[in-house]
Amino acid sequence: MLRFFPFIPAVCARRVSRSFGRVPVPPDPGLLRRLAWLAALFAALVAGTAWAADPAPAVYVWQRQWTPALRAALADSRDLFGEVRVLVAQAGHGGRWLETQADPSAFSGDRRERIAVIRYDGTGAPPEAAALGPYLDRLLARWRAEGMPFGGVEIDYDCATAQLSAYAARLRELREALPAPLRLSATALPAWLDASELDAVLDALDEAVLQVHAVQQPERGLFDAATAERWARAFAVRTRKPFRIALPAYGARLHLDGDGAVLAVESEMRLDAADRAGTREVVAEPDAVVGFLARLAREAPAHWRGVVWFRLPVAGDRRAWTLAALREVIAGEVPQWRFETTLRAQPGGVFDVAIRNRGGIAAPAPALHLTGGHCAAYDGVGDWRVRRRGDVLRFESAPGRLIAPGSERAVGWLRCAQAPHAMIEPTQGSDGK
């Protein structure tokens, strides 16, 4: 299940990702990294420009299946993230625990701090310490016995605003039940900002995470930088505790009804699209995220400690940014879309046309121009359509279709006297070939 749901201000802000963090304190490397970050931040403040990278950003590992690709991503990201927040279980109906395949052995030799994340369904009642406590004791003891202890626990619960008072009471009980060295954190939702009960929730925690990406309106996408900044600064006024901000590094497909309302959100898990009127792809735009971080760096909110990224990029994840793209964003750079076209010759003068995304992020399918082939017949495949003007054939996809990083999409076919020249129509953020 993806951490991303329609945002419903009046009741329960359901979101997409999770967040929290505390930086590990390795000896000299950590000190040097902090000094470098402070120097970069000072330079950014003086220059009034780029985002100075978080000294030890955190990341969520939200995958249920711990595949070889996920293990490789954990190893490849050791230099990038100082903390890993691991989804270990979700509370199911009837008191059942649905555990992920989170494996302590995957962290062998990994000195990063780990936080155990417990997910609760936002449609249910607030979690009870009496039920959660014994389960957490067994879970934490198992990881500790394998030499991979957790440094804290995060509760991920999309609480309805009307239940915040009860939620605060349950969090206080859980804080009292946890051993003192373990930090207790929880996700905070923008829908709570005007609720007086938010104070009690924050008082029960050691730290909080503000979720600033959600689907409020499909046409506004997954992340709106201006809205996120407004939420972040408003939250800083409300809290006296350290907090991180959860930021998206992925895209999703929205399943819509006939009126355009969101019925379901699909990301790392495929959903059945039956009885749904249509779909719309949304993605977190890297330039918006980089700009958001730059503004916060120039005028940091009180108590803000950095970012937790959702989610760890893993090879084969159709909608997540690549690890290379996320590295660029963390460094304050905007990854470019890079498309390439392929013409595959077939018998009889036929050419199959395809387009590949060579960049590090999912990107809208660009239009493709083909000229000079003296083509007598042509057609698009799937949702691609062709328009002809003189000797120019323009292939275009339905709006909102994304091409995942590293993937290829069939565009159409042509019957031509010779191979035509292909050109990708320039789009914002693209580097087409």
pLDDT score at 230 = 96
pLDDT score at 299 = 96
Same domain, 149 and 295: yes
Contacts of 257 (CB under 8 A, 6+ apart): 263, 276, 277
Same domain, 273 and 358: no
Same domain, 242 and 210: yes
Q: Is 369 a member of any domain?
A: yes
Same domain, 326 and 347: no
Q: Is 217 a member of any domain?
A: yes
Same domain, 321 and 346: no
Same domain, 233 and 280: yes
Q: Is 14 a member of any domain?
A: no
Per the structure, the count of domains in the chain is: 2
Q: Which two tokens stand for residue 292?
A: 């958001």
Angstrom distances, CA of residue 164 to CA of 13, 70, 157, 168, 176: 12, 35, 11, 6, 18
Q: Is 49 a member of any domain?
A: yes
pLDDT score at 325 = 94
Q: Is 294 a member of any domain?
A: yes
Same domain, 320 and 354: no
State the burial class of residue 173 (Cβ atoms within 10 Å of its Cβ: 0-12, 13-18, 19+).
Answer: middle
Q: Is 266 a member of any domain?
A: yes
Same domain, 121 and 67: yes
pLDDT score at 254 = 57
pLDDT one digit per residue (tens) for the chain, 433 residues: 334 333 333 333 333 333 333 333 344 444 444 444 444 444 444 333 344 445 689 999 999 999 999 999 999 999 999 999 999 999 877 778 899 999 999 999 999 999 999 999 887 788 888 888 888 999 999 999 999 999 999 999 999 999 999 999 999 999 999 988 999 999 999 999 999 999 999 999 999 999 997 645 555 668 999 999 999 999 999 999 999 999 999 876 554 566 655 555 555 545 454 444 566 677 788 999 999 999 999 999 999 999 999 999 999 887 789 999 999 999 999 998 889 999 999 999 999 999 999 988 888 899 999 999 999 999 999 999 999 999 999 999 987 788 888 889 999 999 999 999 999 987 654 454 5
- The CATH number given to whatever domain includes residue 359 is 2.60.40.2230
Same domain, 281 and 351: no
Q: Is 363 a member of any domain?
A: yes
pLDDT score at 47 = 36
Same domain, 181 and 37: yes
- Last residue of a domain, which of 308, 330, 352? 330
Same domain, 294 and 372: no
Does this model's pTM top 0.85? no
- Last residue of a domain, which of 273, 300, 330? 330
Residue-number span of the structural domain to which 209 is assigned = 28-330
Q: Is 6 a member of any domain?
A: no
Same domain, 97 and 228: yes
- The CATH number given to whatever domain includes residue 163 is 3.20.20.80
pLDDT score at 213 = 76
- Last residue of a domain, which of 330, 360, 388? 330
